[in-house]
Structure formats: structure tokens, C-alpha cells
Amino acid sequence: MIAPIYITGTGVVSAIGIGKAATLEALLNNRSGVGPLKYLKTEHKEFPVGEVKLTDAEMRERLGIAPDAVTTRTALMGMLALGEALDEARLTPDMLPKVGFISGTTVGGMDMSEQFYLDYLSGDAHKEYIAVYDCGSCSEMTAGHFGKFAFATTLATACSSAANAVIQGANMIRCGKADIVVVGGSECITKFHLNGFNSLMILDTNPCRPFDATRSGLNLGEGAAYLVLESAESAKRRGVKPQALLSGYGNACDAFHQTASSPDGEGAYRAMKEALALAGLQPTYIDYINAHGTGTPNNDVSESQAMMRLFEKVPPVSSTKPFTGHTTSASGSIEAVFCILALQQGFLPVNLNWSQPMDNGIVPVAKPEKKTLQHVLCNAFGFGGNDSSLLLSSAKVPEPVEGPTDRMTVLRQAQQSGSIFVLSAKQISMQQPLSEEWMENPIMYDVPFSRSIDPSFKEYVSPIEARRMGRILKRALATSKEALKTAGCDTVDAIMTGTGFGCIENTEFFLDALSNEGEQLLKPTYFMQSTHNTISSLVAIQTKNYNYNATYAHKGISFESALHDAWMQFCLGKIHSALVGCHDEMTETFHSIMKKGGVMGKDDERCGEVAVSVVLTSHCEERSNPETKPLCRLTGLKMLHQPTMNDLMDAVTTMLQSAERSLADVDFILTGISGNHQSDEAYLAETKTLFGDKPLLKYKHLFGENFTASGLGFYVAAQCLNAGRVPSHLFVNANEAIDQQPACILLFNRSDGKDYTLTLLES
């Protein structure tokens, strides 16, 4: 059992209303927001959807944003929901520098990219929207409207994204990384994913009917919701009353299929079971389950089986997606707010449109019912079998006496956790793949962009599978399997992945066909492999890993976000091993678009692709075989959003102190110097202030720039520590090359001058 985390503010926007008051009125009166398409310009008028009943212009006006401001619909909806949550929690702009922000989205700025894609290719029109395509940019726009947060990152695990943001925020509070974290997600409907779901033939032309014998698919929706998570100590100190408690949570991987759920609901079963275990509750304590309940034949059978496996008597269940449509990445937080309203008001949300029981399935709540609720489960399941469950409790439930797993004990355990060992690290890039030949004989490039040098993939994936698999997926499998093999691991306790753009080649194929050929006869394979967490879930499926699985997509700190997740779970004792990866690809077309938008490729900056997989462990026995000894130790990690120089100086000091080190112990500073003159000058100035005359290293001239290039930096530093030397071609100034055995390397990464990370590796 853990001490519950307080929820002190919530905000929501969906098809049934703007704000909680309108939302509650619709839920109590069984008023659906699903109807004919009105705002999205698409050929497919046959599909009912749950659109937010405002144009982008109307949302800008409500928010006080200039009509010509560069924004996305995802960000605008996020701002509306976030504003309500901050107001309820009484969080003012001057308080935000001590508050974390974690958002979930997968679509990101696709609503603009699909409109202007052909313009991007043909000229300079609308190129200002290129920089807001990625998921992290949408999160930063949402948060930035209200001020400067201490920490910001983005989860992209398809339809479980927002639920996983809640889990990440809760872990931050339990680790003592923050007292308050705002979590949730936002997602708009786009032609891209409307047509993608249609290509999978899982959209219904009638209002969806979850758990009904006649169900035939889902209705898409859009919206946003955010929850303010707060430690009990902070809430009491500020004098804010909780709306509800986050008592438990679980995340598991179904490890079955890229889009379908397993017949027995293994991932869903594990996620719900973990949430109950963390809360210290038996299944009989659950009063209601807000099911994922999409209305597809596959999901509803799978989820029914999972619930019947876990509960001897299944409690009242309903899906609220007939109210809103399936809001995909935002569904976990939107439906969590619905659950909180049900806890507060004492009612069971109705499963609209249900009339006929399905074979061997649950019978949902079909009529309005008042009921006192104390504990409810809220499920959110994503493509690739990324299954998450949140356990929410009434604020009237007495807080348990803090025992051996209370917050202070967790903090002490975190401080005493010692080292995290890097057992192995493998790369595929512009250098020779799956080798360290770059240390002796690097390949030097004088071209602005180059794709990776790929190995033969026959050892890692069958020819039949390979024919339908994008290159980024094959690279992820190869590096992951090699890293696990070298580490002597059959499996790990968790898989975390960072990716800035995900499977961009398949996204490009689908978007190109959509833009040039229209909205008919689109290939489902390209859509199936376009989601960011396809990479992480495929690794889980191929390695039969049913454990924790998460994907982060926040620009140049995507890798560190995944690493940070692993770090916290090690500190909490939830895991003892992890596979952390970073994977990004780049095509000729995508490179030209990114360069045109000023995102990367400026000046002498070379761009490339990246696939890095790292195996970490907190348990490391002495190994007699020197080939399997750890490469190094991870002893420090800090992430900062829009810090001042004083913030950075404090972060360096506190990180080194927590590792029982000083700046004098650091041998080298590994930077992200890339050939972008403006960025490089900032690196030189900032490292001079922070680290004085410490020798500087670089690596992007060998491996190229990309949103997750920092993962290659981690790999490079680990290999240098393992080899006991730093090759001369890594020094920023060749005449400053030092023949010194490295014992401690500090990685300093800056992304757009907004996000900074500090990572400490030691021999």
C-alpha cells in the first residue's frame, strides 16, 4: 500500500461540453456529443464523431490568443482544459516554476501538417507550422500559455498516453522529484487518423455501442483533460482540499499484436491487478469500472475477459465513449475526470446505446443509477497492447496510516539506492552498425544528411515479417536483441523508448497518399506503423515482454525522458532492470521539410538517423567474463524546462552532491555541438559558465543530429568509460585532446534553448 496522491484540480473539454459543469450536466442527463462531422474537412461524412463544439478561431478568442498565432487544435483544447485545472487547484503563474507538466498526445500538430503538407514540399507557404508538428511542441504550447513550468515532457503511447502521463506524474511525486505535477492529455481529430482507423475497418457509421452484441466499431472523438496531482504534505500546506485520491495505478503490455487486443485480455488484466496491488485493495473494494470500451468487436471481448478473470463478481461497468467518441490519446485523463465527477456526485455513468448482451461478455450500466462510490478503476488501452489502469478513490476515504512504503521511506530508499549499472549499449547509425569501430576508424561525412548503415536483419526478424516492417522497427529490434544478448538478459522489468518523430517514413507514406490520392483505398499497414509507440510495443511483442512499457516524444529530450522514467522506477524499487531505447529515422523528404522549417539542418549541421538500445540494472553481480561486465554506472540525471543560468548552476551542484561528487571529479563534458552556429555558440558560452575549463567533447559530427541524438551521446560516453579512453576525434578542439583515462563524464544537452538535461556517467 502507498500513501495516496491528492488530486486538487481538474479541467476537461470534450464533445459534451467545455468545462466540468457542462460535462457533469451531460453525463447526468445522458446527452451524447457524438454527431455528424462539422469542423473537420473530410470526404468521410458517413462517420459520426465527437467534436469539440468550437472552431479554432473561437478557441483562440476564448483564450485571448491572436487570430494569426501559430497554434494547433490539440494545443488550443489543451489550454482550455489546463486553465480550468490550474484555477481549481489555485496554482498561479508565479507558482508554476516549481510544478511539473506531463502531457499525452500522439496526433500532435498533424491537423496543420495534413493541411499544408503539399505546401511544405512545393515552397515556403505555411512553413511556420513545420516546427509545431511534433508532439512535444504541442505540449510546450499548452503549458507555455500559462507560464514557465519546472519540468515538461510528453508521452505518446496512443490511446493510453494521458493515463500514462498520470502514472509518470505520480511516480515523480512518490520519488520526491516534485510536490505538484499537472498531468493529462489532449488530442484533436484529424483526417490522418480518421482515415487510418477507417483503413483498419473499425469505424462505425452509427453511434457506437460498447459491449453490445451488435457493436461494429468506434466513433472518433477529440478533447483534453488535465489533473493536478499533489502530495498530501503540499496540499495540506497550501490549504487545498482534494477532489479525489489517486490510490493506485498499473501499466502492462499485452505483447500480442500491433493493433488488436489478446483474446484473454492479458495486458488489461495485469494493469488492473497492479493498480489494485499498489493501492492495497482487494477486487471486492471496487465500486465501478470506467472501461476502455471502444465498441470494436475485439476490444470489448478482450476487456470483458480481463475483468471476469480479475473479479469473482464484476462490479458495475460502463464505457463513456458513446458520450464523447474515442478521444484516443486524451481518453485516459478525460475519463478519469468523469470518474472523479461520479465519485463526487454519487452516480454511475451510463453506457449509452446498449441494448443486447454480447456472448461471454459483461453487461454494462444501461440505466441511470445513483450510487455512493469509494473506489473506481479507469482503463485506457493503446495500440501495441499498451494497457494502463488508474485507481481513483473518493476524497472522503480516510488516508491510510503511512507504513513501510510511505513517502519518506521512498525518499530514503531513493537516496540510498546506489548505482544503476549500464550492462550494454548498441547502436545503428551513420557509423558501422552494432560495433564500436567508430572509436578507431570513424566514417566522416561532408553531406547534410545521411541514412543509417543497416546490418543484415535476417538474424533479428523473419523475411516474411521484414517485408511489412519499416526500417526503424527493424533497427529497434536489432539493437534491442543485441543489447539484451550482450547483457545476458532474456527479458527485463520495463521497456522505455524515446522518439522525437516515431515511424516517420510510414507516416510520410500515409500522408503522401492521403494528400495526393485522396481518402479512399489507403493502406492500413502504413497507419499501423505510424504511431510513436509502435517501436516499443514491437520490441515487447517480439521478446514476449508483458511488463511496463512507455514511449516519450518530447523533441530533443525524448531519450532522457525515457531514461528519467527508468531512473524513478529503479528508485521506487518497482523494477530491477530496464531496456531504454531511442529511435528516430529521417527520409530525404522529411529532412528537407525539417530544414525548411528551421527545426534542424542549419548551417553545417549534419542530420542522421538513430537507433540505440541500452540495458540497465540495479542488481549487478561480479561477472567473471570481462565481455559481460557493466560498461559504466548511471549516477545522476536532471531535467529542467526553461531554466535560468542560476537554475542550471544549482542543478549541476545538487546532482553532483547527490552522487557524492564535485565538479573536480568530472573529467569531460559531452555536449550536443552539431554545426548549428547559434546553438554551438550557446553551448560554448553555457559550458564555460557552468564548467569552467573542463575539456569539451562532441559526437554529432560523427552520428548526425536528430531529436534523439542525445541517446547516441549516452552510448558514446558509456563506450568511452568502458574502453578507458576518449578518442581524439571527439574533442571539440583537437589541439586540446587529452590522453586521460576517463572516470566520470557529464552529458550536457540543450533542446531549443528550452529544455536541458544533465546526465552523469561513471566508470
pLDDT digits (tens, 9 = 90+) for 262-293: 878 899 999 999 999 999 999 999 999 999 99
The pLDDT value recorded for residue 416 is: 43
- Helices 20-28 and 331-345: crossing angle in degrees, nearest 10, is 70
413-762 matches 5-396 in CATH topology: yes
The pLDDT value recorded for residue 407 is: 43
The pLDDT value recorded for residue 3 is: 80
How far apart, in whole angstroms, are the C-alpha atoms of residue 339 and residue 227?
12
For residue 399, pLDDT over 60 is answered with no
- Greater model confidence, 248 or 409: 248
pTM of the model: 0.95
Contact 404/428 with Cβ under 8 angstroms?
A: no
The pLDDT value recorded for residue 624 is: 46
> Within 10 A of 724 (CB to CB), how many other CB atoms are there?
11
**Confidence grade of residue 665 (pLDDT, cut at 50, 70, 90):** very high
Domain positions in the chain: 5-396, 413-762
Host H or E run for residue 379: strand 375-382
> Within 10 A of 400 (CB to CB), how many other CB atoms are there?
14
**Confidence grade of residue 628 (pLDDT, cut at 50, 70, 90):** low
**Confidence grade of residue 625 (pLDDT, cut at 50, 70, 90):** low
Tens digit of each residue's pLDDT (9 = 90 or more) over 296-340: 999 999 999 999 999 999 999 999 999 999 999 999 999 999 999
For residue 536, pLDDT over 70 is answered with yes
How is residue 329 annotated by DSSP? Answer: G
Closest CA to 160 of 228, 83, 252, 74: 252
Which amino acid belongs to residue 209?
A: R
Contact 739/543 with Cβ under 8 angstroms?
A: no
Contact 278/249 with Cβ under 8 angstroms?
A: yes
Out of 2-16, 81-95, 230-244, 258-272, least confident range = 258-272
**Confidence grade of residue 466 (pLDDT, cut at 50, 70, 90):** confident
Report, in this order, helix, strand and coil percent for the chain, each rounded to 5: 40, 20, 40
Look up residue 81 and give its three cell numbers: 482544459
For residue 242, pLDDT over 80 is answered with yes
| Residues annotated as catalytic (active site), given as ranges | 159, 292, 326
How far apart, in whole angstroms, are the C-alpha atoms of residue 178 and residue 234?
10
- Greater model confidence, 629 or 280: 280
Look up residue 649 and give its three cell numbers: 548552476
- Look at the block and give the residue holding cell 512518490: 174
Q: What's the topology of domain 5-396?
A: Peroxisomal Thiolase; Chain A, domain 1 (3.40.47)
**Confidence grade of residue 530 (pLDDT, cut at 50, 70, 90):** confident
The whole-angstrom distance between residue 63's C-alpha and the CA centroid of its chain comes to 26
Rg of the chain over Cα atoms, rounded to whole angstroms, equals 24
How far apart, in whole angstroms, are the C-alpha atoms of residue 707 and residue 582?
9
Out of 97-101, 141-145, 415-419, 462-466, least confident range = 415-419
**Confidence grade of residue 259 (pLDDT, cut at 50, 70, 90):** low
Out of 401-415, 454-468, 705-719, least confident range = 401-415
Closest CA to 248 of 396, 373, 395, 390: 390
Share of the chain above pLDDT 90, in %: 88
User: Please, what is the average pLDDT of the chain?
Assistant: 93
The three-point CA angle 251-255-259 to 5° equals 95
The pLDDT value recorded for residue 591 is: 95
The pLDDT value recorded for residue 411 is: 42
The pLDDT value recorded for residue 621 is: 58
The pLDDT value recorded for residue 265 is: 84
For residue 225, pLDDT over 60 is answered with yes
| pLDDT, average across residues 545-564 | 96
The pLDDT value recorded for residue 738 is: 81
The pLDDT value recorded for residue 127 is: 95
The pLDDT value recorded for residue 616 is: 97
How far apart, in whole angstroms, are the C-alpha atoms of residue 230 and residue 9?
9
Q: Which residues is 14 bridged to in the sheet? A: 17
The pLDDT value recorded for residue 406 is: 46
DSSP for 610-652, written as a single string = EEEEEEEES-----SSGGGS-SEEEEEEEEEES--HHHHHHHH
| pLDDT, average across residues 443-453 | 95
For 280-400, where are the alpha helices, taking DSSP H only? 297-310, 321-324, 331-345
**Confidence grade of residue 398 (pLDDT, cut at 50, 70, 90):** low
For residue 755, pLDDT over 50 is answered with yes
For residue 125, pLDDT over 80 is answered with yes
Q: What's the topology of domain 413-762?
A: Peroxisomal Thiolase; Chain A, domain 1 (3.40.47)
For residue 84, pLDDT over 50 is answered with yes
For residue 566, pLDDT over 50 is answered with yes
The pLDDT value recorded for residue 200 is: 92
For residue 412, pLDDT over 50 is answered with no
